[in-house]
Amino acid sequence: MRPAAAPAVRRGTARKLGIVPSRSGIEPNEMRDELDSGAAPEPAQPERRLTRRTLLAAGFAGVGAIAGASYLASRLTGDGKEALRPAPAGSGGDTLAELARNVTSGGPPKDGIPSIDEPKFVAAGSARFLADDDVVFGLELGGEARAYPQLVLVWHEIVNDKVGDRPISVTYCPLTGSTVAFRGTSARGEALTFGTSGDLVNSNLLMYDRETDSRWPQILGQAIVGPSRGRRLEEIPLQWTTWRHWRRAHPDTRVLSTDTGFLRNYGDDPYGSYNPLGGYYKRSSSDLFFPVLNDDSRFPRKDVFVGAKLAEVRLAVRKDVVRRERAVMARMGRSRVAFLHDPDLDDVRAYRAHAGGRALLLAPGSERGRYVDEATGSVLDARGGIVSGPLRGSELERVTSYDVMWFAWAAFFRDSEVLG
Amino acid sequence: MNGFVAEALRVRRNLAWSSAVGLGYLVLYLWAIQNLILAFDGDLTRFVPVPSVQVVPDWTDRMFEPIAPFYYESVIAIYPVNHVTLLVSPLNLAMGLVLTALVALNVAVALQVARTGIACRRSFAGVLGALPGFLTGFACCVPTFALVLGAQFTLALIALRSWFFPFALAAMLLSLAWNARRGRRLAAPASLGLSRAASPVP
C-alpha cells in the first residue's frame, strides 16, 4: 500500500517517484638390486602392498576426518540455519515472509564476523590511527559524543555498547553503506544484544539477537524470523561524517579503539575505500555481490540517499540534493519533515518540522548552518534547536534517518517516496 | 608408492625444487587467505608499533573459532616492517602446511618421474589440485577471491566453499598416489632393460 505522502519540496529538483517496485609388487629399486647382483627375484612382499594400501586408506581417512571435524566444528559453533525456518505467518505480513524466504548466506558462519562486545574507547587526541578524511559514525546521545570508525566497523559490523546503563548496538553494513544504532527488547522485556548471523537479505546485514535468536535485517529494523518476528527496534540515528568534521564538532568525543580483542587488518577495507572513494563504494560501481528482491534502476545503485522512517511512512532523499539545497522540505504522512544539511559534519539530519503547535516551512538562512521558518522568521540551527524568533527555545523532534545506498533502500521499501 | 616417494626425496635436486615450490605455495596460500597481508598503500604505523607482535588474550579458545569453512581466527599478529602483517592462525597454518607438504611431494615425485625420461608434463598436473586451497579465505561477507574475480562469482564461491580444502587435499593425495605408482611402473622396465644389457650373458 502506497503511503499518502506528498513531498512538498521547497527548493531545487524534487520528484515524487513510486518504487515498483601393478605388475608384481616388487619395487624398482629392489628389482634393480636383485638383477645387478644376479640373484633371482624374490616373490612379492605382501607386507609392502599392505603398507601402500594402508597409506592410501589413511590419506582418504584423513580427508574424511578433516572434513568431518570441520563439519562438526561448524555445527558445534552453530551456524544458526535451524533458526531460519520462517515462523508461522500471520504476525508480520507478506513482506516479512518474503524477506525470510530470500535470506542468502554471506559465507561466514554465525558470528564469523565477530561483533565487538566489550568496546574500548580512546580520547580524540589519542586516536592517531585516524586520518582526517576517514569516515566515522558519530553518536550523540545522553550528552555524550562517540565516534565509531568505519575502518573498524567494516570488520565487525556490530558494536554492543552502553550509554549510561542502557545497552545500545551500533551497526554498519558495508555492502549497503548503512549505519544505524538500535535499542530493543524481547517480548519478555530483556534488552537485546546483537551478533552477525553470517546471512544477508537484500545484500544487507542480517543480525541475530542473543536473547531470542531472531533475525533482524539492519535496514528494516524489524525481526523477520524467530520468536521476535514482527517486533521493531528503536532506531537511533548516527551521523555519517569524517574524523576531521566530528573532532571539530566534538573535541571531547571518545573514539572506538582498534583494540577490539580481534586481529584484523584495520588499515585495509576489503571492499574498497571511502578515503578516497573507490572500489565497491564508488557511485559508478554497479557491482552487487548478492541478489536483491527489487532492483530499481532509476538511480545508480550506489547513490547515497538519506532514508527516513516516520511511523509507517518511508522517504528517501538523495544526499547530494540536500547538500546542494541545504534544506529540503517533504511530507511524510501527516507530518511535514525537514531534511537539513549540517555543514559542521557535512551530513543530513531529518526533523518533524513542527513547533509551537504549527508546521514550519524552513529555508536556508543567510548564516552558515542556520535555517529560517518563513512564516514566523524563527531561526534554527542544524541540530533542530530554534535559536531566535518567536519560537525560540523550542526543539524539533528528530526523525530516524540514515545514509544508505539507493539499491538497498529500494529493495526493502518498494513503496517509499523518493526525492532525487 | 612410499618407496618411490622416498627415492624421489633422496635426490638432492628434487628436494631443492620441491622445497622451493612448497615454500612459494605456502607464501601464496597465506596471502590468498589474507593471513599474510601486504598493504603498500596503507601506513601500518598508524595502528601499531612496527616491529611488534600482538597476541590475543584468550588465544586458546579463539584459535578454534571459524570465520568461514576451513578458515579460523588468528591469535598472533606479527608486524615485522611497515606494510607487512603476518596473522598466525594455528589451524589455518596447519592446513596450509599439509597442502604445502603435498605440493612439495607431488613436485618431487613428478621430477623423479621426469628423470626416467619417459614421463611427460602431465606428471606436474597434479600440483594444480592445490589451487582450490587458495579460495578458502574470506573477508567480511565476501570470499576474498570474489573481490578479485568479480561479483558474479560470489554465490558460486560461497556454494562451493566447504569443498575447496577437502578437494585440494584429495586431489593432491590422488595425484601423488597416481604419479608414484606410474613412476614405479614406468621406471621398472627401463631399469630392467639397462640392467640386463649391463649384465654378463649367462
Say yes or no for a CB contact (<8 Å) between A56 and B1.
yes
A35 with B34: Cβ contact below 8 A: no
Q: What is the mean pLDDT of chain A?
A: 83
Q: Which residues touch B94 (CB under 8 Å, ≥6 apart)?
A: none
Over residues B50-79, the pLDDT tens digits come to: 999 999 999 999 999 998 888 899 999 999
Cβ–Cβ below 8 Å for B1 and A128: no
Beta-carbon pairs below 8 A across chains A and B: 163
Which residues are paired to A347 by β-bridges?
Answer: A342
Q: Do B142 and A270 touch (CB under 8 A)?
A: yes
Please give, rounded to a whole number of angstroms, the shortest distance from the CA of A381 to a CA of chain B.
36
Residue A279 clears pLDDT 80, i.e. is over it: yes
Phi/psi for B184 (5° steps) reads -65, -40
Residue A77 confidence (pLDDT) above 60:
no
A243 near B CB under 8 A: no
Burial class (CB in 10 A: 0-12, 13-18, 19+), A3: middle
Task: Give residues with Cβ within 8 angstroms of B60, minimum separation 6.
Answer: none
- A239 pLDDT higher than 80: yes
Q: Is A206 on the interface with B (CB under 8 A)?
A: no
User: Does residue A46 have a cis bond before it (omega within 30 degrees)?
Assistant: no
Alpha-carbon distances of A9 from A313, A349, A362, A400, rounded to whole Å: 17, 16, 10, 19
Residue A158 has pLDDT above 60, yes or no: yes
B173 vs A30, A59, A106: nearest CB? A59
Where do we find the cell 547530494? A320
Q: Is the pLDDT of residue A60 over 60?
A: no
Q: What is the nearest CA distance from A207 to chain B, expressed in angstroms? A: 13
Segment of A25-39, A74-88, B101-115, B124-138 carrying the highest mean pLDDT: B101-115
> Could you tell me if B168 lies within 8 Å of chain A, comparing CB atoms?
no
Of B47, B75, B151, the CB nearest to A287: B151
For A298, half-sphere exposure in the C-beta direction (CA atoms, 13 angstrom radius) is 22
Q: Which residue of A has its CA nearest to B151?
A: A289
Please report the ipTM that was assigned to this predicted complex.
Answer: 0.79
Q: Is the minimum CB–CB distance between A4 and chain B shorter than 8 Å?
A: no
Nearest Cα of chain A lies from the Cα of B148 at a distance, in angstroms, of: 10
| Amino acid in position A84 | L
Distance CA(A144)–CA(B116), nearest Å, equals 76
Q: Is residue A416 pLDDT above 80, yes or no?
A: yes
Note whether B103 and B49 are within 8 A (CB).
Answer: no
Residue B153, CA distances (Å) to A23, A80, A113, A287, B150 in order: 46, 24, 21, 11, 6
pLDDT of residue A28 exceeding 50, the answer is no
CB spacing of A107 vs B141 below 8 angstroms: yes
Q: Return the pLDDT at B10.
A: 87
Residue from B141, B148, B176 to probe the interface with A (highest A Cβ count within 10 Å): B141
Residue A227 has pLDDT above 90, yes or no: yes
Chain B nearest C-alpha distance from A128 (Å): 6
pLDDT value for B118: 58
Chain A, 90-129: which have a CB under 8 Å from a chain B CB? 104-109, 111-114, 128-129
- The region, left, alpha or beta by phi > 0 then psi within -120 to 50, assigned to residue A268 is beta
Q: Do A77 and B195 touch (CB under 8 A)?
A: no
Q: Do B70 and A38 touch (CB under 8 A)?
A: no
Q: A68's torsion region: left (phi>0), alpha (psi -120 to 50) or beta?
A: alpha
B54–A265 C-beta distance less than 8 A: no
A156 with A173: CB under 8 angstroms? Answer: no
The pTM (predicted TM-score) of the whole model is 0.80
- Count Cβ atoms within 10 A of the Cβ of residue B174 and give its class: 0-12 exposed, 13-18 middle, 19 or more buried: middle
Q: Which residues of chain B have pLDDT under 50?
A: 193-202
**B47–A31 C-beta distance less than 8 A:** no
